[in-house]
């Protein structure tokens, strides 16, 4: 009881009792962010595979492994948030068929097992067999297990790898759209919340996912090249920059359309949303998401479309715009998840959100879940390095 | 059939079988008896100790205060709204005393001026300027009988 009176200090105006405390904190911000990186990275990979944009070849495997590393972590912030890891499986064993979240478990599993793991397996099977022959000790055993016993290296079987992998990728594109569109749907379908309830939400989430995934692969490609001390393939980087620019324009347009639509309609919720945007979300929306995450990267990448400066200038600018986009998309998720809970559904008041450091909902925990995919990716890059794959020419022979 | 599928399809079949078997054992017995939840949880939740005991339980001992409270504007409030959960106090009234708040901040939670609150429903004053000679609201007002003024 005393606790409640203490908490009322953070309230402005009138608010319903169950709105004082935010139920969804930074971990729920991370969940769509990480899932978005997966979908975005996969779509970048499929540009090479399905849409035959061969110049992107150097980032193909990196994009797939990035997607897998982030997908493995994507649900862990949710499990942490719910705080009952031993009950987490119940979403799969007794799913409620009318619950959007329950079905997400299956969408996630489909994407992990049927799309990503299979595509990577088909793509690496031949190399796994060869690596198993060349290496010793535990690594050799690991490679052998990963081949699942399919060690046939006849041209016919290898052609099947290519063919089946292609089919999986084609199936994977709508799956990636489904995976992230679904995350947007979970928010967009909450009709009681005017900040979330919008049919554009799944599309906006999807496009911002593509933006963040492409930016992440671009960033990782540059970092990995620097660590390996190899030259960055500039045509590839320029092409990624071009796609990032295109998707960023689409994303910006749709998000603006959503807001313009909201402003023009000016429904009964408009006043409180107006106060929200100009007050509590001021910095995260206009500065972080708008200026840092969208306008500046758009200006840099757009300038490169008009005039391509020297490599020395382009590289740091690509790096910078990639990072800025990543920050911007993070704050886009923040503005959606946190912003949607800051105002009362009575439209008469606000509550406050203070991000703690320690504890399950603190930012140290969030940093942990954000760093973990990079550790997993490093392990993947050590175990199945794309640059040690056997030459393409051998593969098609 | 390509050799990859000769391995993958059985692996998939095994995976689905393991899932179905696991599902069979993991679903609690009483799940789905009444609805999409574990029916036994109803009894378990009912057996939990009550934290808020309700006005009737307070009235067993504190009938004078309760009678006063029920006779006027605060009659809609239960005792525990101000005094907090009473379950421990009911078990051992000597050991577990309840709080008796009456500060300007506490009463101000409801009675401080707030434009979003209707004055016709809740009497409101400015806690910063209202009768500042006295420190606390209960120095003048009796919360159990709001019409009563102390000296």
> Both B13 and B64 in a single domain?
no
Contact list in B for residue A349 (CB cut-off 8 A) is 116
> Both B67 and B123 in a single domain?
yes
> Both B106 and B41 in a single domain?
no
Number of domains in chain B: 2
> Both B63 and B110 in a single domain?
yes
pLDDT at A17: 84
Q: Which of A8, A94, A350 to mutate to test the interface with B (most CBs of B within 10 A)?
A: A94
Are B5 and A157 in contact (CB < 8 Å)? no
Q: Which of B3, B21, B87, B110 to mutate to test the interface with A (most CBs of A within 10 A)?
A: B3
> Both B76 and B136 in a single domain?
yes
Mean pLDDT of B37-51: 89
Are B4 and A125 in contact (CB < 8 Å)? yes
Q: What are the residues of chain A with a beta carbon less than 8 Å away from any beta carbon of chain B?
A: 1-2, 5, 8, 13-14, 89-90, 92-94, 96, 113, 118, 122, 125, 148-150, 152, 157, 160-161, 164, 348-349
Contact list in B for residue A89 (CB cut-off 8 A) is 26
pLDDT at A99: 86
Contact A366, A27 (CB under 8 A): yes
Q: Is B21 exposed, middle or buried (0-12, 13-18, 19+ CB in 10 A)?
A: exposed
> Both B136 and B81 in a single domain?
yes
Range of the domain at B33: 3-46
* CA nearest to A15 within chain B: B116
Which of B19, B106, B116 has the CB atom closest to A348's CB atom?
Answer: B116
**pLDDT string in tens for chain A (397-residue length):** 456 777 777 888 888 888 998 999 999 999 999 999 999 999 999 989 889 899 999 999 999 999 999 999 999 999 999 988 888 888 889 998 888 888 888 888 998 888 999 999 999 999 999 999 998 889 999 999 999 989 989 899 999 999 999 999 999 998 888 888 888 999 999 988 999 999 999 999 999 999 999 999 999 999 999 999 999 999 999 999 999 999 999 999 999 999 999 999 999 999 999 999 999 999 999 999 999 999 999 999 999 999 999 999 999 999 999 999 999 999 999 999 999 999 999 999 999 998 999 888 999 999 999 999 999 999 999 999 999 887 654 544 4
> Both B21 and B67 in a single domain?
no
pLDDT at B72: 82
* B4 pLDDT higher than 60: yes
Count of Cβ atoms closer than 10 Å to residue A114 Cβ: 15
> Both B63 and B7 in a single domain?
no
**A319-378: pLDDT as tens digits:** 999 999 999 999 999 999 999 999 999 999 999 998 999 888 999 999 999 999 999 999
Contact list in B for residue A164 (CB cut-off 8 A) is 2, 4-5
> Both B64 and B138 in a single domain?
yes
> Both B73 and B131 in a single domain?
yes
* CA nearest to B107 within chain A: A5
Cβ of B116 under 8 Å from any chain A Cβ? yes
> Both B33 and B102 in a single domain?
no
- Whole-angstrom distance, CA of residue B7 vs CA of residue B3: 7
Are B4 and A2 in contact (CB < 8 Å)? no
Are B2 and A157 in contact (CB < 8 Å)? yes
pLDDT at B148: 80
> Both B70 and B118 in a single domain?
yes
**A142-154: pLDDT as tens digits:** 999 999 989 989 8
pLDDT at A392: 53
Contact list in A for residue B5 (CB cut-off 8 A) is 164
């Amino acid at each position: 009881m005393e606790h409640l009176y203490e908490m009322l200090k953070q309230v402005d105006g009138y608010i319903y009792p169950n709105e004082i405390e935010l139920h969804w904190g930074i971990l729920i911000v991370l969940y769509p962010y990480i899932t978005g990186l997966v979908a975005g990275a996969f779509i970048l990979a499929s540009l090479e595979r399905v849409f035959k944009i061969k110049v992107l070849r150097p980032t193909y495997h990196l994009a797939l492994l990035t997607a897998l590393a982030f997908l493995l972590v994507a649900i862990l912030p949710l499990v942490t948030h719910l705080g009952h890891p031993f009950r987490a499986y119940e979403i799969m064993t007794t799913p409620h068929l009318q619950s959007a979240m329950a079905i997400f478990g299956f969408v996630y599993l489909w994407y992990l097992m049927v799309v990503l793991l299979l595509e990577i397996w088909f793509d690496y099977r031949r190399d796994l067999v060869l690596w198993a022959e060349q290496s010793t000790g535990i690594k050799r055993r690991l490679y052998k297990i990963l081949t699942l016993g399919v060690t046939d290296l006849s041209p016919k079987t290898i052609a099947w790898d290519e063919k089946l992998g292609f089919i999986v990728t084609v199936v994977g594109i709508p799956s990636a759209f489904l995976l992230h569109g679904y995350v947007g749907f979970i928010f967009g379908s909450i009709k009681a919340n005017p900040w979330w309830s919008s049919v554009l939400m799944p599309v906006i989430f999807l496009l911002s996912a593509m933006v963040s995934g492409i930016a992440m692969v671009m960033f990782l490609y540059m970092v990995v090249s620097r660590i390996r001390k190899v030259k960055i393939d500039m045509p590839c980087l320029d092409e990624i920059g071009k796609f990032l620019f295109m998707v960023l324009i689409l994303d910006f347009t749709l998000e603006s359309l959503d807001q313009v639509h909201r402003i023009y309609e000016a429904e009964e919720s408009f006043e409180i949303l107006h106060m929200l945007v100009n007050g509590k979300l001021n910095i995260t929306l206009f500065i972080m998401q708008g200026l840092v995450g969208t306008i500046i990267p758009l200006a840099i990448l757009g300038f490169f479309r008009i005039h391509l400066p020297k490599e020395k200038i382009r590289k740091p600018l690509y790096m910078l715009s990639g990072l800025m986009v990543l920050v911007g998309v993070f704050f886009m998720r923040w503005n959606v998840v946190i912003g949607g809970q800051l105002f009362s559904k009575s439209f008469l008041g606000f509550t406050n959100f203070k991000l703690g450091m320690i504890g399950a909902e603190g930012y140290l925990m969030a940093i942990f879940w954000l760093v973990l995919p990079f550790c997993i990716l490093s392990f993947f890059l050590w175990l199945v390095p794309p640059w040690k794959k056997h030459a393409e020419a051998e593969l098609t022979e | 059939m390509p050799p990859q599928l000769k391995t993958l399809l059985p692996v998939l079949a095994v995976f689905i079988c393991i899932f179905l078997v696991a599902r069979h054992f993991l679903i609690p017995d009483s799940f789905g008896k009444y609805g999409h939840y574990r029916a036994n949880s109803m009894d378990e939740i009912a057996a939990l100790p009550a934290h808020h005991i309700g006005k009737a339980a307070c009235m067993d001992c504190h009938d004078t205060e309760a009678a006063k409270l029920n006779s006027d504007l605060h009659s809609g409030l239960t005792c525990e709204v101000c005094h907090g959960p009473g379950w421990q106090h009911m078990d051992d009234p000597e050991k577990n005393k309840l709080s008796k708040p009456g500060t300007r901040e506490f009463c101000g939670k409801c009675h401080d001026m707030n434009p979003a609150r209707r004055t016709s429903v809740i009497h409101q004053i400015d806690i910063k300027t209202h009768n500042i000679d006295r420190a606390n609201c209960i120095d003048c007002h009796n919360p159990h009988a709001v019409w009563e003024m102390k000296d």
